[in-house]
Amino acid sequence: MTVKYLEDLSTLVSLCKRRGFIFQSSEIYGGLNSCWDYGPLGANFKFKVKMSWWKAMTRRQDIVGLDASILMHPTVWKASGHIDGFSDPMVDCKKCRNRFRADTELVNGKVTCPKCQSTDVTEARNFNLMFKTFMGPVEDSSAVVYLRPETAQGIFVNFENVATSMRKKIPFGIAQIGKSFRNEITPGNFTFRTREFEQMEMQYFVKPGTDVEWFEKWKNERRAFFTRLGFKEDKLRFKPHDKLAHYARAAVDVEYQFPFGWNEIEGIHNRSDFDLTQHQQFSGKKLEYFDEANKEKYIPYVIETAVGCDRLALAMLCDVYREEVSPPAEGEASGDVRVVMGFKPEFAPVQIAFLPLSKKPPLQEIGNKLRDDFALDMDADYDETGSIGKRYRRQDEIGTPLCVTIDFETLEDKKVTVRHRDKMSQDRVAIDQLKNYVQDKLRDF
């Protein structure tokens, strides 16, 4: 048997639609460019991705959670620099009228249309990426608000509220998961670059002078997190920035090798004291921290870890996809192909499936009862449609670690057959021992 891993993103896109992970938004109306809906399995999977990050952050003693509003006072974005500087260079191809970002489509140093390869393009002009809307009944300049382009600013403007209410002393962090919106010029690559997306950001406030040390600590923390997720080591790398943003003292990207190349899934930044200094200046509110032990005041520096939730979920989907190709049987041109989503059990949208061998009521009754019993502790499925082989393959394609078959012998010996996704081995297990068996197998997967 040979194993092939994902080479073409379209293969994953097809599986995601077929098996209920991700659908094109508004598909019955022709879809909306770069907008995606997470289906039943995708929503459950993405929730588990978010919870793994949330637990890693907020179960520490030095980090608390926050859920800030999407709509914020417009001056927030003036202070942060987004109104004046949050833009991309946009050009139009004079030949095919395609519009694209000038800084991402360079060929031999020339701006080249990705659609027709022409270099005959308009001059670049800046395009602000924030979505603008209006609050209230009158649509004029005084009613303008923005859909937030990042979740970080909600953390910064709540720094004093959190520090005071939670009695936090520096160093400490604030974590948040939430929707952000960017009017990207050239979105694409499935859920990698979209106009509506979810971020998982943590801002860690430290004393000036300790920021270099904490930046290194958080790089190590994030490396350990990705190791726990189970990524293939050769598909992940930490890449320092060659050019820093105006607010940053240091920055590194966590990149994954997607089928379309190496791309960022997380950024780790030393943001200096830029953010709190700006909000103190624009709001007129003191955002200094008073260190009682040393009797000194200072504006904290910030170490940021910012993960694109959709990008991380996409990277995990790419990473676990595999095709197991069996040698062709005699007289056959090609071998059988088994598609497997090799999720760790904690991320599998379905962790156990119950499959009665037939639709006879006695087997259905046992299967449904077991499914409902296990669903109290884990994500459980019940499937009685098609041959047992086809049902196994369906569960393999969605990454279900264990399948339980209820057969006619079950009525006599009170045992079921448990099939292991990766080994394809089968064990006969007594029903009254099934929970202990399953828990042990999932833990040791």
Range in 24-28, 82-86, 246-250 the model is least confident about: 82-86
Does 442 have pLDDT greater than 80? yes
CA distances from 9 to 337, 352, 440 (A): 18, 27, 35
pLDDT score recorded for residue 87: 67
Tokens 């259905």 identify what position?
A: 364
Summarize pLDDT for 264-309 with one digit per residue, the tens: 999 999 999 999 999 999 999 999 999 998 999 999 999 999 999 9
Which percentage of the chain shows pLDDT scores above 70? 100
Does 227 have pLDDT greater than 90? yes
pLDDT score recorded for residue 431: 98
Contact call for residues 175 and 65 (beta carbons, < 8 A): yes
Distance CA 110, CA 101 (A): 13
pLDDT score recorded for residue 208: 97
Summarize pLDDT for 18-76 with one digit per residue, the tens: 999 999 999 999 999 889 999 999 999 999 999 999 999 999 999 999 999 999 999 99
Instruction: Tell me the average pLDDT of the chain.
Output: 94
Give the chain's domains with CATH numbers. 2-71+149-318 (3.30.930.10), 350-443 (3.40.50.800)
Q: For the residues 139-154, what does the mean pLDDT come to?
A: 92
Summarize pLDDT for 179-200 with one digit per residue, the tens: 999 988 878 899 999 999 999 9
Distance CA 227, CA 187 (A): 29
pLDDT score recorded for residue 88: 73
Tokens 């209820």 identify what position?
A: 406
